[in-house]
Structure 1
């Protein structure tokens, strides 16, 4: 009865777990190496799952076009800036900024689809923005264990991530509504991204040159983050969208900023400040007002 709701909540938990694993790679694995490993691992995981359930029969040629556009914005661009935001601003701030996906989706509907923004949605956008400002402001400049310093570059990267994710979700929606199997859709999206990052290695520039050697621990963390994030988390989200209301699914899957706080607490031993909890709750409440 509540399949879509359960899938959406599980997606939020998986994405939070993936963020925590990515944060462990800060200073251990270059950004583009992480992207290559993530996308490659995600493609093999989701492609294998798709073969097991016979999902490739659910994809038509026209759907591939929408999924390719979704991959460009939602994975190639958004995933890269997402990893970079975690590296520079930390998982908590990145998860909060990811809440901007819902306001961006409303804005795109207004600009390109002729949709209106009612009072409830306006209040939701205000809640999201206020929640982000409160939570980021709560970080301050303390040097206590587990405290993340404010990184304006990380904030910009997080905003770009939310923007790309909103565009990617909008592009994928027609394909999913037409019956595309979630693991297969994710395999197409991650496969296109994996191919892009592999071809990028041919560019003769030191910034895209792969690391000479990757240790076992960074490799296991990268694959683990791919499993929980792109492989399992995003597939659960797509499955939820295929079975339930977009508004409810969007709201429940946006619980990541709240879910990640006890994870950070357990990992660092530092209790997040009250304003961090309040800000995360406001961001989720704002998403609910926008989506429902």
Structure 2
């Protein structure tokens, strides 16, 4: 399958997982939610890696880079994203996280020598513009549900969203040379997840109050977190690493940024409210840009 298609599938995984993630994250707190999600994802990924034999592709030379990528992208980035979501909701946190496509395009040009030209450049511009437009103008004036409320200081939520985007970009681009060497994507994801989980365990062991759950885990919470871990982390992140093996890092990042566009029908499904006109226009631009990229 083409790396561009893998990136789009990963974006779809993250959009679907938002449906599972938001309620449990708000109830348990971002750090406790992320810790449980990483535990479930690690168990799933290591089970697959051991069953398939993909763990044999890992060697000592890859350990350090995978571990660092896991700490930056998953421990810091993922936790910051859910802290942002708890404050601003999935829609507004989505527009901030979508900036990882811009970060990735710049970093891929500067550090990897990748450049977007022709229809790929036009398509990327349309796609990113469509994502931003759909989220900024995607709310109807009479929407008052919980996913649209601001909790705490707005500036803190914005800073957390931008931090999550930056960490996602840096952590993913770090792995481009390593994935091209033939590392199994599932085994690589498992090692990254385990290192992030270890960092979370160390944070919890310090006794810091913020690392403790806000509420006790319920069976329903565990089910939601497991679903989020399986769809977003075990499947979505593995698809991104697989796309990195053969695709341009910047282009893969741009295509994976369509998650906020795909969240709009999820919100429509949950709340039975048709997205605003700006959301439809943004979605049309994003689809057009994606077509330019895929047909280039």
Normalised by the shorter chain, which TM-score bucket? 0.7 to 0.9
Of stretches 279-288 and 95-104 in structure 1, the one that deviates more from structure 2 is 279-288
CA distance in 2, matches of 1:77, 1:269: 34
> Within 5 Å, which residues of 2 pair with 1:137-156?
137-139=137-139, 142-145=142-145, 148-149=148-149, 151-156=154-159
Pair 1:202-2:202 in alignment? no
Q: CA deviation at 1:48?
A: 0.7
CA distance in 2, matches of 1:76, 1:115: 27
Of stretches 225-234 and 105-114 in structure 1, the one that deviates more from structure 2 is 105-114
Query: Is the Cα contact below 8 Å between 1:84 and 1:157 reproduced in 2?
Result: yes
**Other-structure match for 1:75:** 74
**Other-structure match for 2:187:** 184
Query: For structure 2, which runs of at least 5 residues remain unmatched after alignment?
Result: none
**Other-structure match for 1:89:** 88
Of stretches 207-216 and 264-273 in structure 1, the one that deviates more from structure 2 is 207-216
Query: Is the Cα contact below 8 Å between 2:134 and 2:261 reproduced in 1?
Result: no
CA distance in 2, matches of 1:152, 1:139: 20
CA distance in 1, matches of 2:56, 2:163: 34
The 3-state SS of whatever aligns with 2:86 is helix
Pair 1:273-2:276 in alignment? yes
CA distance in 1, matches of 2:134, 2:140: 11
> Within 5 Å, which residues of 2 pair with 1:187-266?
187-210=190-213, 213-244=216-247, 246=249, 249-266=252-269
The Cα RMSD (Å) is 3.1
**Other-structure match for 1:59:** 58
**Other-structure match for 1:19:** 18
Of stretches 127-136 and 6-15 in structure 1, the one that deviates more from structure 2 is 127-136
**Residues 243/107 of structure 1: CA separation in 2 closer, same or farther (3 Å cut):** closer
Q: How many residue pairs were aligned?
A: 291
CA distance in 1, matches of 2:288, 2:55: 37
Could you report, residue by residue, the CA deviation over 1:112-142 in whole angstroms, capped at 9, with x for unpaired residues?
A: 5677787985995687367526632443764
**Residues 183/109 of structure 1: CA separation in 2 closer, same or farther (3 Å cut):** closer
Q: CA deviation at 1:248?
A: 5.5
CA distance in 2, matches of 1:283, 1:98: 16
CA distance in 2, matches of 1:71, 1:114: 24
Query: For structure 1, which runs of at least 5 residues remain unmatched after alignment?
Result: none
Query: Is the Cα contact below 8 Å between 2:94 and 2:260 reproduced in 1?
Result: yes
**Residues 183/115 of structure 1: CA separation in 2 closer, same or farther (3 Å cut):** closer
CA distance in 2, matches of 1:122, 1:257: 20
The 3-state SS of whatever aligns with 1:82 is helix
CA distance in 2, matches of 1:9, 1:202: 38
Residue in structure 2 matching 1:163, options 154, 161, 166: 166
Query: Is the Cα contact below 8 Å between 1:183 and 1:235 reproduced in 2?
Result: yes
TM-score of the aligned structures, taking structure 1 as reference length: 0.85
Could you report, residue by residue, the CA deviation over 1:221-249 in whole angstroms, capped at 9, with x for unpaired residues?
A: 11211111111111122223335454654
**Residues 239/131 of structure 1: CA separation in 2 closer, same or farther (3 Å cut):** closer
Query: Is the Cα contact below 8 Å between 2:24 and 2:221 reproduced in 1?
Result: yes
